[in-house]
Every structure is written in C-alpha cells, then in structure tokens.
Structure 1
Amino acid sequence: MEDTRRPVAPEQVLWSVPESERAGRPLLVLLHGHGMDERMGTELHDQLPSELVLAAIRGPIPVGSGYGWYPLNASLGLNQIDSSARAVLDWVRVQDHPSVGILGFSQGSSIALQCMRVAPDQFDYGVVLSGFAVPTAVAGDAALAERRPPVFSGRGDADPLIPLPLVTMTDSWLAKHTTLTRQVYAGLGHNVSAAEIADLAAFLRDQVSLAG
C-alpha cells in the first residue's frame, strides 16, 4: 500500500493556549470534518475541562474554502485514509503530555478512529461526533479490543449525511473494540448541540480525572 502521508506542519496546528502554558497538561487532539478547517471546535475550549490543552489539526487536502482528510469521490483509496492517520500519529508521537485523547467530527472521526486502530496504545481515549469508522479491518483492531479504551460517541437521529448502515456498523464496531459511552440526540442533524457538549464535557472530566 503506497504511503502518501504529508507531515503535519506547525502552521496546520491551532493550539488553545500558548506554548508556555502547555507543559504537564493533558492534550486533546481535534480533527475537523470535510470542508472545514482547524478552527473547528476551538471555541468550545471554555466549555471543556480547564486542564485540557486543545490542538486542532488542519487536514492536508484543500476542499473548497476548507480542507479534508481524504477525497469523497472515486479517487478515494484506503491508502489515503491510512496515510492521513499516520501523519497525525507522527505528529502526536513527538508531543509530551501526561495523557492524550483524540476527537474527530464527521470525516475527522474516521481518521481519529483509524489513528486508534493503527496505534492501539497511543491514545488514552477517543471521541466520535457525527462520525463513523472505516469499514475495513485494521491490523491493530485485536489489540484495541483487548485494551478497550474509553470512547464517547455522539450523533443526532436526524443526521442526513452519515448513511444508517454505516452508523449501525460503527456502533457495533465501537461496542466490540472500546469502552463505549454512546448518546443519540433527538432532532439533531449533522452538527453538535448544547446537550451533546455538556455530555462531552462530563466524559472529558472523567478522563482528565483518571489521568490524575
């Protein structure tokens, strides 16, 4: 499988705090959806546990006025998904934090989960918002199922973008491979609600507390 990864450049990363305030604090990596950019989710910083440092990474592929992690057309190959995940992993591995979580929205969630599947011991927990897992086996799946890291999965029951069979498959996969906290929000489309943010904050507080 061809490795087409593009290293994450410093200008692709938007931090929630300056470098002088990051040492010794838990890290949460944010991966945006298709056609979005690294500004996604950073406005939530004040609603999440204050101990967390957020690092939002911009995807490598220009998509309209935003970016993506892989194309959504006939040119898509599994190697593109894997390469984007490995580029994120390369970046994460050189960071120095007492704990690391990874959060993805929509397409970004497939990359977040792919990162956890490729490197089962790298992340303390994961978050999937309006998202999905790539429906192919990954070599690290068995090790991830053995470890079963905590994962929060939230989505709306009125989401028109993620096909129901993919939602069903993802829910089943998460239940088998992670310690899953799953929430479905009535009437919510392909976005995030105040109730979901509150549930996410509670989940993150638990993870920060466990990290000590």
Structure 2
Amino acid sequence: MSTVHPPELPIDPAAVIWSVPTSELPGALTGRPLLVLLHGYGSHERDLMALAEHLPTGPVVASLRAPLPAGPGYAWFPITDPARAGDPDLDLANAATTGVMHWLEETQALTRTSGPVGLLGFSQGGAMVTHLLRHHPELFACGVVLSGFTVPGLVGGDEALAQIAPPVYWGRGLADPLIGPGAIERTERFLDRHTTLTARSFAGLGHGVAAEELIEVATFLRTHLIPS
C-alpha cells in the first residue's frame, strides 16, 4: 500500500524569529536582503540565530521552525533509518518546500519592493536549501549549505537551476558520521553541475560548523547577497 503524503507541510509564522521587531518588518524588508535560516533535525528556530552575530549585518534575518515534531525539536522530514539520514523521501521534501514558499510569499507581500533572498541551512536545513533552489532557482540570490545534502530524485526546476547556476557555498566536515558517502557523492555531483559551487571540507570536523567556515560564509554572503 502506498503512503499518501500531504501536499504541504506549513510553516508556523508565529514561531519565526526575526532580527528586527515584527512591527518594523514592512519597512525593514523594503529593498533590503532577506536571509532565511533553516535548522537541522531535532533542533529549533533559535538554534541558527546564534550564528547571526558572525554574519553580515545588512540582511534582515528570519529563522524558521521546521513543521514536524522530532525529539526535543522539529524536523523538515522524518528520519526512519539513521543510516539513511541523507536520503529523505522526495514527496515529503517537496511538501516542506511548498510550506516555506507559501511563508515567503506572505512575507514578501508585506512590502511592495522586496530585496534579494538568500538561504542558509544546516544538515536537514541544508537539504532544504538545495531543494528550494531546485524548485525555484530564479527566486534566490544564493544558498549556504552547512553539513547538508541534496534530496534524491528529480525536480522540475533542475534544468532551470543548471541554466541559472546560482552561487552556493557547501561546507562539510570530513569526520561527519551522519551523512554517508553516497549522499556526499550525490550532492557533490549535483551541485557541481547545477550551481556555481564553492565547496569546502574541513579535516577533523564532524557534523557541525567550523569557525573558519563561518568566516567564509560571511564573506560569501557579503559577495552574493548584499548589493554593492
């Protein structure tokens, strides 16, 4: 019997953490870049906001809560087999992507002049970055994937993504025990063919983020998200 998946896994707008007061969003978003943060499995929207102090101050930052409860936090899609954490269900990833896009549309409707949008995600959130780019490559200025991967399967926007080839920073630890070699090889092959890729690996780093990596990410965002 086939499993029926929901067409959308919605984002809770009340759970979004912003770098500016919500009362100031219409003015703050006018013409300014927006950086969307997407946390990892079992985490929450407050997690990646801790990185904000290491990132450029120009963009408005929004940290989203994933739609599915998972352990002490939330997830973008479930993990039923830890050995295949890097191989999520395509339909569920699509449903989570639809939820993020609906939230983004409602957010951009707050202002008549939206600025460029960048994506930054860790682990599952990094997979969401690649999946959002695959579905809507024309809408995002750049993506940052930290210890993340691509979702297996074909997406309708893959060909357009290859033509647009947006800049993507992909950083990972060489000692990461969670994302297997198959997922790494798939991700490297896909991003190399479909994006303008900056790929960095860090010796001794597990499933985490290195201090040197944050410095590179800040430079990447200044170059590709903040208009000169």
- Residue among 38, 58, 71 paired with 1:64: 71
Distance 1:12 1:175, change over 3 A: same
- Residue among 200, 209, 212 paired with 2:217: 200
Q: Could you tell me which amino acid in structure 1 is paired with residue 202 of structure 2?
A: Y
Deviating beyond 3 angstroms after TM superposition, the runs of 4 or more aligned structure 1 residues are 1-4
1:150 touches 1:179 (CA, 8 Å); kept in 2?
Answer: yes
Query: What is the RMSD of the two structures over their aligned residues, measured on CA atoms?
Result: 1.6
Instruction: Find the aligned partners of 2:186 and 2:89 in 1 and give their Cα distance.
Output: 20
Instruction: Find the aligned partners of 1:150 and 1:77 in 2 and give their Cα distance.
Output: 26
Does the alignment pair 1:141 with 2:158? yes
Instruction: Find the aligned partners of 2:127 and 2:117 in 1 and give their Cα distance.
Output: 17
Instruction: Find the aligned partners of 1:116 and 1:23 in 2 and give their Cα distance.
Output: 21
Q: What residue number does 2:85 align with?
A: none
Does the alignment pair 1:80 with 2:86? no
Paired-residue identity, %: 43
Q: Tell me the CA shift for residue 4 of structure 1.
A: 3.3
What SS does the corresponding residue of 2:53 show, helix, strand or coil? helix
2:120 touches 2:144 (CA, 8 Å); kept in 1?
Answer: yes
- Residue among 163, 172, 180 paired with 1:163: 180
1:158 touches 1:189 (CA, 8 Å); kept in 2?
Answer: yes
2:146 touches 2:172 (CA, 8 Å); kept in 1?
Answer: yes
2:93 touches 2:128 (CA, 8 Å); kept in 1?
Answer: yes
**Equivalences for 1:114-153 in 2 at 5 Å?**
114-153=131-170
Q: Tell me the CA shift for residue 169 of structure 1.
A: 1.1
Q: Tell me the CA shift for residue 2 of structure 1.
A: 4.8
Q: What residue number does 1:52 align with?
A: 59
TM-score (norm 2): 0.87
Residues 118-160 of structure 1: per-residue CA shift (max 9 Å, x gap) = 1121111111100100121111000000000000000111111
1:69 touches 1:108 (CA, 8 Å); kept in 2?
Answer: yes
Name stretches of at least 5 consecutive residues in structure 2 with no aligned partner.
82-87, 109-113
Q: Tell me the CA shift for residue 168 of structure 1.
A: 1.2
TM-score (norm 1): 0.93
Q: What residue number does 2:48 align with?
A: 41
1:114 touches 1:134 (CA, 8 Å); kept in 2?
Answer: yes
